[in-house]
A = this chain, B = another copy of it.
Amino acid sequence: MGMSYLVYPGAHHTRFHHALGCLHIMQKAVQTLRFKGVEISNNEENALYIAILLHDIGHGPFSHAMEHSIVEEVHHEQLSLLFMEQLNKEFNGQLSLAIQVFKGEYHRKFMLQLISSQLDMDRMDYLKRDSFYSGVAEGNINSERLIQMMNVDNDVLVIEEKGIYSVEKFLVARRLMYWQAYLHKTSVVGELILTKILKRAKELVQNGIQLEASKPLSYFLENKVTLEDFNENVLQKFSYLDDYDVLSAIKAWQFHDDYVLSNLCRMIINRDLLKIKMLDEKPSKELVKSYKQKFINLTKLSEKEVAYFVFKGSLKNQAYNKQSEPIHIYKKDKSIEDVVEASDQLHLKALSKQVTKYYICFPKVILES
């Protein structure tokens, strides 16, 4: 949950918990589907377990912040795949089928859908888990019942008709978790500051300025790393990185000479963040400019430096994506319908509209100036 612990201190669970949880509910899904007569071989079963256990292994610490700072647009799913392939070598090909499924190259499509779709084990686990640990009860879903309602028709994952209200609940819960937790304004600003810190650190290191950091983190600060660069050696360095590297660095950098770096770091350490304002409309260029000017007046920073403290952006969320592969409802007459069509209300249609919100961030001090 990134920096959400700044809002919800209980949200202190780990990706390891999530991986175990996904595995657990995948076992339940396999049990349920077999009980309904869906044939799943032992090999396929293992592939499902391996793939779900490893689906997130490519996430670095504070993954989203890193993806936009110290690695060059390397998506975590690509790294998960690289890790799986590396493990496949070590385990003499035992992950081959899992990899095939994960890449979407296996003919039984429902297997991929269990791992990655609009109603996969991943989402089921993280919504329930994040709701539980954060205390945002609005996100609690009935994953047990959703799984009981699952079935497979022509190798496609479907939900039996009487589970339609559980799907509706699931989509609403997802929407509410986004706005109340993942995109809560304090989580967002925390994540943005973290991204800025990593960007600034990389910038400084690239300019020859020395920063205290663990060896693996230093590597990624010193080198420009794109997906192509991820050979076995770099992958191993990446695997050594975790929250401890990042947060230890931030703790050290709060005392660094660079104004930008140390101030951003202190914001995280002292939980004294930039101010963030949520808006229905894009903030005007003039507003951003005037805020920047005020902060320049106060601090004598350069244009480039002030952009670390005053910036704008947008957040988007869509509880259900009609363009992606739909959630299939399996009706009593054995026909299949997109959940949005099958519902008795316009309600789900509304949920597939994208909602966009805008924000502007700036130091609190400029409100007083």
Contacts and interface: CB of A to CB of B under 8 A. Distances in A.
A17 B13 contact: no
B145 A165 contact: no
A215 B215 CA distance: 16
Contact of A12 (B13, B240, B251): B13
A16 interface: yes
A310 B140 CA distance: 41
Contact of A251 (B176, B244, B347): B244
**Which secondary structure characterizes the binding site on chain A?**
helix
A137 interface: yes
A27 interface: no
A300 interface: no
Interface string A165-209: 110110010011001100000000000000000000000000000
A67 interface: no
Contact of A252 (B12, B142, B215, B349): B215
A181 to B, nearest CB: 10
A248 interface: yes
Interface in A213-255: 214-215, 240, 242-245, 247-248, 251-252
A10 interface: yes
A350 interface: yes
Given A10-B17, A17-B10, A353-B346, A176 B180 contact: no
Interface size class of chain A, counting residues whose CB lies under 8 Å from the partner chain: 35 or more
Interface in A325-369: 344-347, 349-351, 353, 355, 357
A165 B179 contact: yes
Given A244-B251, A350-B350, A169 B176 contact: yes
Contacts of A244: 243-244, 247-248, 251
A252 B214 contact: yes
Contacts of A350: 345-347, 349-350
Contacts of A145: 137
A14 interface: yes
Interface string A1-26: 00000000110111011001000000
A296 to B, nearest CB: 29
Nearest to A250: B244
Nearest to A216: B251
Nearest to A173: B169
Given A172-B169, A214-B252, A351 B347 contact: yes
Interface in A121-147: 137-138, 140-142, 145
A128 to B, nearest CB: 10
21 contacts: A9-B17, A9-B20, A137-B142, A137-B145, A138-B142, A138-B166, A140-B140, A165-B180, A172-B347, A175-B345, A175-B347, A179-B344, A214-B248, A214-B251, A240-B251, A344-B355, A344-B357, A345-B351, A345-B353, A346-B349, A350-B350
